[in-house]
Structure 1
Amino acid sequence: MSPAHTSRPCFYHCSFFVLCFLSSLSGIQSHELQILMKLKSALQVSNTNVFKSWEATTSPCNFTGIACNSVGSVSEIELSHHNLTGILPLDSICQLQSLAKLSLGFNLLHGPVMEDLKNCAKLEYLDLGNNFFSGAVPDISSLSQLRYLYLNNSGFSGNFPWKSLQNMTGLVRLSLGDNPFDHSPIPTEVVQLTKLDWLYLSNCNIQGTIPTGIGSLKGLIDLELSDNNMTGEIPAEIGNLINLWQLVLYNNSFTGKLPVGLRNLTKLEIFDASMNYLEGDLSELRFLNNLTSLQLFENNLSGQVPAELGEFKKLLNLSLYSNSLTGPLPQKLGSRAQFNFIDVSDNFLNGPIPPDMCKQGTMMRLLMLDNNFTGEIPATYANCSTLIRFRVNQNLLSGTVPSGIWGLPNLNIIDITSNNIEGPITSDIMNAKALGQLFVGNNRLSGELPTEISGATSLMSIQLNDNQFSGKIPPSIGDLKQLYVLRLQNNKFSGSIPETLGSCDSIMVINIANNSLSGQIPSSLGFLPRLFSLDLSSNKLSDRIPQSFSSFARDPLLNLSYNRLTGPIPQALTYLAGDGKFDGNAGLCLLDISAGLPSCENPYILPLLIHIQCLPLDY
C-alpha cells in the first residue's frame, strides 16, 4: 500500500481528536467564564478598575487577576488589595477544577466562609487574610496540597480545625494570627509540619507552653506567638531553629531564663520577648551579631548588658526598659550601625552615656530615664539632627547641656529633669522648630531664659521649675501660641510678669511661685480662656488683684498668697478667702462681710485698717 493510502486514516483520526479536544476546551472555558462572571457580580468594588477587563466576550485568561495553565484553564485568582466587598461565592469558585491559587487578602469581604471551600481540593495557595469574615473556619482537611495558608486577621472565631492540618504535609507557611479563636494549645499537628518556614500564631488565644517538638521545625525562618496566654519556659529546643530570622514572643506569661542554646540562632535579626516574666541575664545574646532589633522590655531580667552588643554592626533598635539591669552600657553601642532607637529606661544602669549612638546620623530616639547614669551628656549629640526624642531624666548626670542640643531641628521633647545639670538654656533654642515639650526641672540650671525661645514655635509645655534661673521672663514668651503649660516655680526670676503672657490663649497652667517677681499682676491673665490653674504665690507682687480675675470664681486653682498685694479682693473670689489663697498679703481686705471677715469699708474698724493697711485674712 502506498504511503498516501496509509496516512489518510491517521489524518482523519487525528483531526477528529483535535476537534474533540477543542470542543471540550471550549466547553470548559465557557463554564469557567460563567463562574468568574458570577464572582464579579457577587463582589462590589470601589476605587479600582479591577473588573474592567472582565467581560463576557473576553477569554477569562485575559481577565485582570486571572492566570491560566498551559491548557487554558483558570489556575490562579489574585485579587488581593482591591477593596472588594461582599460574600465570597465559594460554591462556584471551587468548581474551577484547576484552581491552584486563591488570593483575596486585604479586602473587605464579610460573612461566613462556607464548607464549599473543601471542594477547592487542588489549592496550593490560599489567602483569605485581612478581611471581615465571621464564624468558624470550616473543615479543610481535603486541601492536602496546600503549601501556603493565610487566614490571619479575618474575624474568624470558634474552634480552629487543627486536625485538618495533618493532611497538609507540604505546608510551608501557616498564618492564623489575629483571630479570636477558642483557647487552644499549640497542637501536635502544627509541630509535625516539618516543611514550615513561617508560623504566625500571634493574638489568637494560644495557651499553654511552647511544645518541645517545636525543635523539629528546623526550616522555620519566622516564629511569632505574641499576644497570647502562653506560660512556662522557652524550651531549649528553640535553639535547634538555626534558620530563624524572626522570633516574636512578646506579651505572654513566659518565665525562666533565656534558654541555653539561644546563641545558636546566629541568623536571628529580630528578637522580641517583651512583656513576660523572664529572669536571669542576657549572656545568651552575645553571639547573635546579626540582630537588628532586640526588645526585651518589661521583664525581670538582671545582670549587665553584654559588651559584645557594642560590636554589633546591624543593631538598629534596642529596648530593654523596665527590668533590673545593672552596670554600664557598652560604650561602642550603636557606633557601628545605622542606629535608630534605644530605650533602657527604668533599670539600675550606671556609668556614662555611650557617645556614638548617633555616629551614623540616623538616631531618632534616645530614652535612658530613671537609671543611675553619670557624667556629662556627650557633645556628639549636639549634631544629631535626626533626633526626635531625648529623655535622660532622673539620673545622676552633671555638667552642661551641649548648646546644639537645645536647637536640634526635629526634636519634639527634651527631658533632662532631676539630674545635677548646670549652665544655661542657650539661644540655639530658636532653631528648635519641632520642640513641643521642654522639661528641665530639678537641676542646677542658671542664667536668663533667652528671648529667642519664641522661635521654638511648637512649644506646648515649658517646665523649668526648681532651678536657679534668674533675670526677667522674656516678653517674647507671649508669641508661643500653642503653649498650654508654663512652670517656672522655685527659681530666681525677677522683674514683672510680662503682659504678653496674656496672649497665650491656649495656656491652661501657669506656675511662677517662689521667685522674686514684682510689680502688678497683668490683668490680661484674667482673660485667658482656658486657664484653670494660676499660682503666683511667694513673690513680691504688689497693687491690686485685677478685677478680671473674677473669672476664677468657677475654679479654686488660684494661689496669690505671700506677696505684697493690697486693696479689696474681687467680690467673686471672696469664697476662696478661707482657703489660704490670699494669705501673707497684709494689705488685702474683703468687701463683703458675708465671707465671715470684716469688710474693708466697715467704719468701726477704720482706725485698725489705717494701722495695718487692711484686715489680714487670718483675723
Structure 2
Amino acid sequence: MAATRLLLLAFLLLLLQAIAAASSDAAHLLAARSVLRDPTGALAGWGAGSGRGLPCRWARVSCANNSAAAVAGLDLSKLSLGDGFPAALCSLRSLEHLDLSANEFVGPLPACLAALPVLAHLNLAGNSFSGEVPPEWGAGFRSLLVLNLVQNLLSGEFPAFLANLTGLQEFSLAYNLFSPSPLPMKIGDLADLRVLFVANCSLNGTIPASIGKLKNLVNLDLSRNSIHGEIPRSIGNLSSLEQIELFANQLSGSIPVGFGGLKRLHSLDFSMNGLTGDIPEDMFAAPSLASVHMYQNNLSGHLPATLGTAQSLYDLRIFANQLSGPLPPEFGKNCPLMFLDTSDNGLSGPIPATLCASGKLKQLMLLDNEFEGAIPVELGQCRTLIRVRLSSNRLSGPVPLEFWGLPGVYLLELSGNALSGTVDPAIAGAKNLSKLLLQDNRFTGALPAKLGTLTNLQEFKASNNCFSGSLPPSLANLSLLDNLDLSHNSFSGEIPRDFGKLKQLSQLYLSDNHLSGDVPSELGDIIGMNTLDLSNNELSGQLPVQLQNLKLTHFNISYNKLSGTLPVLFNGLQYQESFLGNPGLCHGFCQSNGDPDAKGHNTIKLIVYIFIAAAIILLIGLAWFGYKCRLHKINASELDDGKSSWVLTSYHRVDFSERDIVNSLDESNVIGQGGAGKVYKAVVGPEGEAMAVKKLWPVGVASKRIDSFEAEVATLSKVRHRNIVKLACSITNTVCRLLVYEYMPNGSLGDMLHSAKRSILDWPMRYKIAVNAAEGLSYLHHDCEPPIVHRDVKSNNILLDAEYGAKVADFGVAKTIGDGPATMSVIAGSCGYIAPEYAYSLHVTEKSDIYSFGVVILELVTGMKPMAPEIGEMDLVTWVSANIAQNGLESVLDHTLSEAEQFKDEMCKVLKIALLCVLNIPKSRPPMRAVVKMLLEVKEENKPMLKLAPLSI
C-alpha cells in the first residue's frame, strides 16, 4: 500500500513538473511571438482557446511523445516572419529541433543557442542573418547533428571552429558572404558527417586530403568557390558518396582514378575548372552514375570505353574541352540517355546509332566537332527529341526522311556540314519547330510548300546551299518568323508579294540568287524590319517608295537591274553603297545620254516636277494650316462649353490641363518609341514643368500588340515610392490614351550605360543606381498588398533623374500576386533578362524579377549588355560565370572605369550579390529586402546605421 502511494506521489510530482515546464515554455513562446513581425498572422492562435497554457497544442509546436511536456520541436519555416532572432527561444531548455528557414529574419546570429543542451537540429537557412558566426558556437552545441545556415548574409572568416562539433551529420553554410578563407583542415574529424554543403562561400586554398576520412559522406558540394590545386585521390575512398559538386572552382591537374569504385555515386560535376589530361578509364564504371558534368575544362584524349557500358547514365555534358576520337559505338544502348552535349571538342567518327536506344533522348548537342558520315536513320525514330544541334561537323549524305518530321523538336541545327539531298515534305510533322538552321551545306531542290505549316517557326536559315526553284509563297503563313535567310542559293522567279504579311520579320536575306521581277511594295508594310538584303539578283523595275517606311540598319539591293528614280529618303550618305551595280537607277532626276531632244524633254520634265512639287507643298501647307485652325476652334469650343472630349484622371496634384498635354503631342517632341507607344516631352503648367507623355498605340493595331494601359494605371496609380516613376495622370478619349509621368532628364540606364555617355557613370553613380532600383523593387514585392511583380525588369526600364537617381518604370506587363504564383498565358520580359524557369513554366513569382535585377547589376559591374556580339551565343550570366570560374571575380569587372582599381572590393561585393540573384533555382535567390540590405552593407559607412536600426524597407 505504501509503495502504491509512493508511486502515485512520484507520478503527481512528474505531472506537476511537466505542467510547470509547459507553462514556462508557453511564456517563452509568447515572449518570442511578441517581438516577431508576423504579417500573415501565422502565430496568432498561440495562447488562445482551450490550449491557452498548453503549447503542445499550438500550431507549429511539438512536444516529446505529444504529451503535455516541455517543447521539443519548433517548425516556423516559410511563414514570412521577420525582424531579429527572438532571444526568448534560447530559454526552451528541452528544444531538440528548431527550424526558422525561409523567413525574413535579420541581424546577428544568437550566441545563446549554443547553450541549449539537447538541440540536435538547427535550420536558419534562407534568411538575412548577417555578421560573423558566433565563436561560442564552436564550443557549445553538445548534441547538434544538423546545422543549416544556407543563403544568409553571413560575413567574416569562414567559421573553421565549427569543425570542433564532431557529432555533426549535416554541415551546410553555402551561399554566404564570407571573406576568402580555406576549408578547415580538421574537416576530416567529423566522422559522422553525411552532408558537406559549402558552395559559394569564398573558399580558397586546396581540398584537404583528410576529406577522405569522411566514410559516411553522402553529399559533397564545394562548388562556386576559388579552390585550387588537384582533386585529392582520397575522395575515391568515400564509399557512401552519392553526389560530388566541385564545379566553378580553379582546380587543376588530372582527374584521379577511383571514382568508378563508388557504388552509390549518382551525380558528379567537375565543370568550369582547369582540369587536364585524360578522363580515367574507370570513370563511368560506377553502377549508379546518372549525371556527369565535366564541361569547360582542358581535358584531352579519347573517351573511355566504360562510357559505352554505363548502366544508369542519362546526362553527359563534356563540351568545351579538347577531347578527341570517337564516341563508343554502343553508347546509349545500355543506359537511359536523355541529355548529351559534347560540343566544342575534336571528337570524330560516326554518330552512334544507339544514342536513342532507350527511347528517352531529349537533347542532342554535338556541334563543333569532327563527326562524319550520315545522320543515323535510327535518330529519325527518336520521338522524344526536342533539341538537336549537329552544326560544324563533317556530316554528309541525305537527312533521314523521318528525322525532318520529329514532332517535339523546337531547334534543328544542321549548319556547317556537307549534307545533301532535299528538305522532305515530312518536315510538316515538326509542328514544334522554332529554329531551322540549314546553312552552309549542299542541299538541293526546291523548298517544300509544307514549310508554311510550321506556325511556330521564328528563324529559318538556309544560306549557302544549292536550293533552286521558286520561293514558296506559303512561307508568308509563318506569322512568327523573325529571321529568314535564303541567300547564296539558286532560287529564281519573283519574290512573293505575300511576304508583306510577315509582320514579325526583322531580317530578310535573299541575296546571291536568280530572283527576278519587281521588288514587292508590300515589303514596306513590315514596319519592324531592320535588315533587308536583296543584292546580286536579277530584280528589275523601280524601287518601291513604300520601302521608305522601314527603319533599316542594313539595306543592300546592289547588283540588280533596277531602273528609274531613287526614292528621296535613300539619297542619304548611309545608303550610298546600297544601290551599286544598278546602272538604270538614278539619284534625283535621270540624265540622258547626249540626246539634245532628250535634254530638252528632261528640262521640261524638271520644270514640271518643280512646279508639281511646289504645288504639293503649298497644298499640304494650306491643309495643315486649315487643320490647325479647325483644331484650335474645336478645342476652344470644347473648353468654353465645358464638354471636352478628353477625360483627365489625376493620381497626383497637377497644375496643367488635358489640353496643355494634347497640344504638346508634336513629332518634334518625340523622345522615344517602344512596343507600347511613343513618348513625348511636354513642358506645361505655369512654371514650365517638364512631363513625359506616353501615347499608347490604338488597341488592335496588328504591329503594336502590347496594350499596357490597364496594367500601368492599375499599378502606378496606387504605388507611392521615391524609386518608382510617378504617374501624374491619365488622359483618354474614345480613340486615344495618354499616360503622363514625371520627366526623367537623363533617360534610361540602358541608354546611358551602353552608349558613348557611359563614361559619365562612374562607380559611385552605378552603386547608387543599383541601391535605388533595388529599393523600388523591394517596395513592390514587400510593401504592396498584394505584392506586385514587374515582369520586365531591365536597364531600359530603369530611368535616371537629374541627379542620376534611379526609378523603376514601365509597368505594362506588371502583375499582382495573391496567395500563390500567377500563371501567365505568354512569356513577358526581354531577351537576356528572363529567368531560366520560364523554360518550363509560365508561373510568375517575385523571384523572376530578382533574376532580372541580378542581370541589371551584372550590367552595372561589367559594363556589358545582357546579349552582346563580343560574348557570342552566351548570355551575360553564362559569360560572367564562365569567366569567374576560369579567372576569378576581378576578370569580369568593367576596367574602362578609371576608378575601377580604387573601388575593386566594392565592385566584387556587388558582383557576388548579383550572382546570388541569378541563381538557377528560384527559391535560392534572396528576397529583394535582403538584396537591399546586402547592397547597403557594401559601403562601410552604412553598417553602423544598419546595426542600430534593422531595415524595414
Shift of residue 11 of structure 1? Answer: 6.0
Shift of residue 12 of structure 1? Answer: 5.7
CA spacing shift, 1:358–1:606, aligned 2, 3 Å: farther
Q: Which residue of 1 aligns with 2:277?
A: 280
Which of 362-371 and 17-26 deviates more?
17-26
Aligned-partner SS, 2:395 = coil
Shift of residue 527 of structure 1? Answer: 2.2
Partner Cα distance (2:441, 2:496) in 1: 25
Q: Which residue of 2 aligns with 1:452?
A: 450
Q: Which residue of 2 aligns with 1:253?
A: 250
Is residue 2:58 matched to residue 1:60? no
Q: Which residue of 2 aligns with 1:29?
A: 22
Is residue 2:590 matched to residue 1:600? yes
Partner Cα distance (1:607, 1:287) in 2: 92
Partner Cα distance (1:344, 1:410) in 2: 21
Q: Is the 8 A contact 1:33 1:56 kept in 2?
A: no
Q: Could you tell me which amino acid in structure 1 is paired with residue 80 of structure 2?
A: L
Residue from 202, 209, 212 that aligns with 1:212: 209
**Pairwise mapping of residues 1-400 of structure 1 onto structure 2 (< 5 A)?**
7=1, 15-44=8-37, 55=48, 57-58=50-51, 59-70=54-65, 72-80=69-77, 82-139=78-135, 140-141=137-138, 142-166=140-164, 168-282=165-279, 283-400=281-398
Shift of residue 477 of structure 1? Answer: 1.1
Is residue 2:568 matched to residue 1:571? yes
Residue from 530, 540, 543 that aligns with 1:542: 540
Partner Cα distance (2:442, 2:41) in 1: 61
Shift of residue 576 of structure 1? Answer: 4.5
Shift of residue 48 of structure 1? Answer: 9.0
Q: Is the 8 A contact 1:90 1:116 kept in 2?
A: no
Q: Is the 8 A contact 1:236 1:262 kept in 2?
A: no
CA spacing shift, 1:89–1:110, aligned 2, 3 Å: closer
Shift of residue 32 of structure 1? Answer: 1.3
Aligned-partner SS, 1:29 = helix
Identity among equivalent pairs (%): 36
Partner Cα distance (2:338, 2:38) in 1: 40
Q: Which residue of 2 aligns with 1:490?
A: 488
TM-score (norm: length of structure 2): 0.60
Q: Which residue of 1 aligns with 2:497?
A: 499
Partner Cα distance (2:192, 2:362) in 1: 39
Shift of residue 556 of structure 1? Answer: 4.7
Shift of residue 551 of structure 1? Answer: 2.8
Cα deviation digits, residues 233-268 of structure 1 (max 9, x gap): 111212221221111111111111111333432332
Cα deviation digits, residues 174-231 of structure 1 (max 9, x gap): 1111111111111123221111111111111110111111111121121111110011
Partner Cα distance (1:78, 1:156) in 2: 22
Partner Cα distance (2:598, 2:73) in 1: 100
Higher Cα Rg: structure 1 or 2? Answer: 1
Q: Which residue of 1 aligns with 2:795?
A: none
Aligned-partner SS, 1:254 = strand
Shift of residue 561 of structure 1? Answer: 0.6
Partner Cα distance (1:584, 1:296) in 2: 53
CA spacing shift, 1:123–1:605, aligned 2, 3 Å: farther
Q: Could you tell me which amino acid in structure 2 is paired with residue 456 of structure 1?
A: L
Q: Is the 8 A contact 2:267 2:291 kept in 1?
A: yes
Residue from 419, 422, 425 that aligns with 2:423: 425
CA spacing shift, 1:278–1:608, aligned 2, 3 Å: farther
Partner Cα distance (1:276, 1:456) in 2: 41
Which of 390-399 and 11-20 deviates more?
11-20
CA spacing shift, 1:10–1:221, aligned 2, 3 Å: closer
Aligned-partner SS, 1:303 = strand
Q: Is the 8 A contact 1:429 1:452 kept in 2?
A: yes
Partner Cα distance (1:505, 1:38) in 2: 64
Q: Could you tell me which amino acid in structure 1 is paired with residue 118 of structure 2?
A: K
Q: Is the 8 A contact 2:452 2:478 kept in 1?
A: yes
Q: Is the 8 A contact 2:527 2:549 kept in 1?
A: no
Q: Which residue of 1 aligns with 2:579?
A: 582
Aligned-partner SS, 1:21 = helix
Partner Cα distance (1:312, 1:50) in 2: 52
Shift of residue 396 of structure 1? Answer: 0.4
Aligned-partner SS, 1:530 = coil
Q: Gapped runs of 5+ residues in structure 1?
A: 1-6, 592-598, 611-619
Shift of residue 410 of structure 1? Answer: 1.6
Q: Which residue of 1 aligns with 2:656?
A: none
Shift of residue 107 of structure 1? Answer: 3.0
Partner Cα distance (2:197, 2:438) in 1: 44
Aligned-partner SS, 2:408 = coil
Q: Is the 8 A contact 1:203 1:226 kept in 2?
A: yes
Partner Cα distance (1:295, 1:327) in 2: 19
Aligned-partner SS, 1:37 = helix
Partner Cα distance (1:519, 1:42) in 2: 80
Q: Which residue of 1 aligns with 2:629?
A: none
Shift of residue 603 of structure 1? Answer: 10
Partner Cα distance (1:363, 1:470) in 2: 34
Partner Cα distance (1:275, 1:578) in 2: 46
CA spacing shift, 1:45–1:467, aligned 2, 3 Å: farther
Q: Is the 8 A contact 2:36 2:86 kept in 1?
A: no
Cα deviation digits, residues 25-48 of structure 1 (max 9, x gap): 222212212222344444455679
CA spacing shift, 1:53–1:340, aligned 2, 3 Å: farther
Aligned-partner SS, 1:196 = coil
Cα deviation digits, residues 133-155 of structure 1 (max 9, x gap): 22222231311211111111122
Q: Could you tell me which amino acid in structure 1 is paired with residue 152 of structure 2?
A: S
Which of 442-451 and 46-55 deviates more?
46-55
Which of 150-159 and 310-319 deviates more?
150-159
Q: How many residues get paired?
A: 593
Q: Is the 8 A contact 2:284 2:310 kept in 1?
A: no
Q: Could you tell me which amino acid in structure 2 is paired with residue 583 of structure 1?
A: L
Q: Is the 8 A contact 1:432 1:455 kept in 2?
A: no
The structure carrying a bigger helix percent of its residues is 2
Partner Cα distance (2:101, 2:381) in 1: 45
Shift of residue 50 of structure 1? Answer: 7.1
Q: Is the 8 A contact 1:344 1:369 kept in 2?
A: yes
Q: Could you tell me which amino acid in structure 2 is paired with residue 206 of structure 1?
A: L
Which of 88-97 and 172-181 deviates more?
88-97
Partner Cα distance (1:267, 1:211) in 2: 22
CA spacing shift, 1:332–1:580, aligned 2, 3 Å: same
